[in-house]
Amino acid sequence: MSSPRILVVDDEADLRELLEITLLKMGLDVDSAETLGQARAFLAKGEYALVLTDMRLPDGLGIELVREVTTLYKGTPIAVITAYGSAENAVVALKAGAFDYVTKPVALDQLRIMVQSALRVSTGQAGQPGPAAGAPSRLIGESPAMQGLRAQIGRLARSMAPISITGESGSGKELAAREIHAQSSRAAKPFIAVNCGAIPEALMEAEFFGYRKGAFTGAAEDRDGFFQAANGGTLMLDEVADLPLAMQVKLLRAIQERRVRKIGATAEEPVDVRLISATHQDLAKCVETGKFRQDLFYRLNVIELSLPPLRERLDDLGVLANAMLDRLVGPGQATLGPQVLETLAAYSFPGNVRELENVLERALAFANDGVIEVGDLSLKSARLAEPSSAPVAAAQAAEPPAPVASPAPAAVPPAPDALPNNLPEYLEQVERDIILRALAQTQFNRTQAAQLLGISFRQLRYQMQKLDIQAPED
């Protein structure tokens, strides 16, 4: 079998030579072009495992080649070489479908890492090509929105482009991120999801980048951070809007340099991590209000994946419900009685797919012979969707300016001697009640409420978000 062949496109003789030598040493075959015209001629004749092109060429721009290769030679990854600090070019190339980029001056260790992962894409390791080859998608649903989403995920899995996933709570953001990872050439390496809102600010740097033994009191041995743990794989920054500004700066640096430095270490180490970020907030708005750095936003938000709320794809209720019942009690062991789907379809599901799971799990506990009847559903009737599918926010605004918890409190907590039939839900309910009481007592002063409860402001804000407790004018 012959070696994979790489096409290098660069008009600078020195750089071209450096790239050629590096690639040859990796056991690869190389063709070199100095212009777009030559590159096109090579592409028409041969098959390449990777095209590596400079951005500025005598007869045009590398981005043109990116567009041509991604449309005419779909299976061929193409990466670009960009000038240092030119985030713009890198982002434009990734948006146009480039597999990845390297910056000038080219760091050879990073070049090698990039080439290796491009080879995995083009030789069809892991989930490539596309979702059809791997395991069936875990994202259930036949609605056009869901089909489109699965197709998009299949495409995104083939590149390194940072993805920003948006969607309401429980709509499947983490599941989608896992799916991208599972279908990518990184599938054999770790997928690490980090909840940025849950890490105390003082520990963030250590958690993300690791530390050396003795770097601070209590650092008894060297420890890796999330970046090292996800090396070769995917790092999901969940609730990314919660990152404090100081940490945003450090993160931006790590992304730009593709290197991190452990606390207490003198040297940086290269990391090869694909980034996926997620939030249920409007990041662009956070940029406007100065809560989120524009430059980091630009770097993370290269490709947007948005998950539709369940109420906008009610066609999927049937397949989703049946798949969940099968998973909960075994295939075919439980069914939905008459009118159940219609009743579910009239509900607005502020908690989306996760809420559907919870509703079904509870209903199963009440159901006879595995048949769920309308009476077994305990939907929070206050949140039933209007026939005109009026937005939930409108319904909330109409309520008195008291603290609003949504979804509205579920069943009243059982009497002290009764055992709760769903411990996590019960505990959430207790926690929600306590937080609401503290907020009511302090006229919704979150700083004071946090003090009352002996937690930090950040912790309180995080719990409020998690439990969907909104301040009157939030």
Ligand X SMILES: Nc1ncnc2c1ncn2[C@@H]1O[C@H](COP(=O)(O)OP(=O)(O)OP(=O)(O)O)[C@@H](O)[C@H]1O
Helix, strand or coil, per DSSP, at residue 239? coil
Answer yes or no: are the C-beta atoms of 258 and 272 closer than 8 Å. yes
Interface with ligand X, residue 169, by CB under 6 A: yes
Closer residue to Mg ion (CB): 269 or 425: 425
- Which partner from the list ligand X, Mg ion, none does 353 bind, CB cut-off 5 to 8 Å by kind? ligand X
Which of 167, 197, 225, 403 binds ligand X (CB under 6 A)? It is: 167
**Cβ 188 to ligand X, closest distance in Å?**
22
Interface with ligand X, residue 67, by CB under 6 A: no
**Cβ 353 to ligand X, closest distance in Å?**
3
Per-residue string for binding with ligand X, 174-193, x by CB under 6 A? Answer: xx------------------
**Cβ 137 to ligand X, closest distance in Å?**
8
Q: Name the segment binding ligand X (CB under 6 A); options: 8-16, 163-171, 266-274, 389-397.
A: 163-171
Distance of CA 130 to the CA centre of its chain: 18
CA 340 to each of CA 347, 386, 439: distance values in angstroms, whole numbers, following the listed order: 11, 18, 37
Say how far apart CA 44 and CA 89 lie, in whole Å. 26
**Cβ 440 to Mg ion, closest distance in Å?**
28
Say how far apart CA 58 and CA 23 lie, in whole Å. 24
Which residues ranging from 280 to 339 are in contact with ligand X (CB under 6 A)? 280, 320
CA 245 to each of CA 104, 242, 268: distance values in angstroms, whole numbers, following the listed order: 28, 9, 22
Interface with Mg ion, residue 174, by CB under 5 A: yes
- Which partner from the list Mg ion, ligand X, none does 385 bind, CB cut-off 5 to 8 Å by kind? none
Helix, strand or coil, per DSSP, at residue 188? coil
Per-residue string for binding with Mg ion, 118-157, x by CB under 5 A? Answer: ----------------------------------------
Question: In the beta sheet, which residues pair with residue 101?
Answer: 80
Strands (E), 185-281: 191-195, 234-238, 259-260, 269-270, 274-279
- Count Cβ atoms within 10 A of the Cβ of residue 339 and give its class: 0-12 exposed, 13-18 middle, 19 or more buried: exposed
Strands (E), 71-179: 78-83, 100-104, 163-166
**Cβ 357 to ligand X, closest distance in Å?**
6
Answer yes or no: are the C-beta atoms of 408 and 355 closer than 8 Å. no
Which of 89, 171, 183, 277 binds ligand X (CB under 6 A)? It is: 171
What are the tokens at 283?
């990041």
Which of 62, 77, 97, 141 binds ligand X (CB under 6 A)? It is: 141
Which of 30, 80, 139, 283 binds ligand X (CB under 6 A)? It is: 139
Per-residue string for binding with ligand X, 207-236, x by CB under 6 A? Answer: ------------------------------
**Cβ 192 to ligand X, closest distance in Å?**
15
**Cβ 394 to ligand X, closest distance in Å?**
21
Closer residue to ligand X (CB): 29 or 357: 357
Say how far apart CA 452 and CA 432 lie, in whole Å. 15
Closer residue to ligand X (CB): 31 or 179: 179
**Cβ 297 to ligand X, closest distance in Å?**
19
Residues 6+ apart with CB under 8 A from 58: 11, 34, 35
Closer residue to ligand X (CB): 262 or 280: 280
Q: Give, as one character, the DSSP assignment of residue 331.
A: T
Closer residue to ligand X (CB): 323 or 346: 323
List own/partner pairs for 66-73 with CB under 8 A and 24 or more apart: 66/93, 66/96, 66/97, 66/98, 67/96, 67/97, 68/40, 68/43, 69/43, 70/96, 70/97, 70/98, 72/43, 73/43, 73/48
Site size toward ligand X (CB under 6 A) is 16
As a dihedral over the C-alpha atoms of residue 35, residue 40, residue 42, residue 43, rounded to 10 degrees, the angle is 140
Site size toward Mg ion (CB under 5 A) is 2
Q: Name the segment binding ligand X (CB under 6 A); options: 49-57, 115-123, 136-144, 258-266.
A: 136-144
- Which partner from the list Mg ion, ligand X, none does 169 bind, CB cut-off 5 to 8 Å by kind? ligand X
- Other beta carbons within 10 angstroms of residue 194's beta carbon come to 23
Closer residue to ligand X (CB): 27 or 136: 136
Interface with Mg ion, residue 433, by CB under 5 A: no
User: Which residue's structure tokens are 């048949």?
Assistant: 371
Nearest residue to ligand X, using CB? 172
Which residues contribute to the site for ligand X (CB under 6 A)? 139-141, 167, 169-175, 280, 320, 353-354, 357
Which residues contribute to the site for Mg ion (CB under 5 A)? 173-174
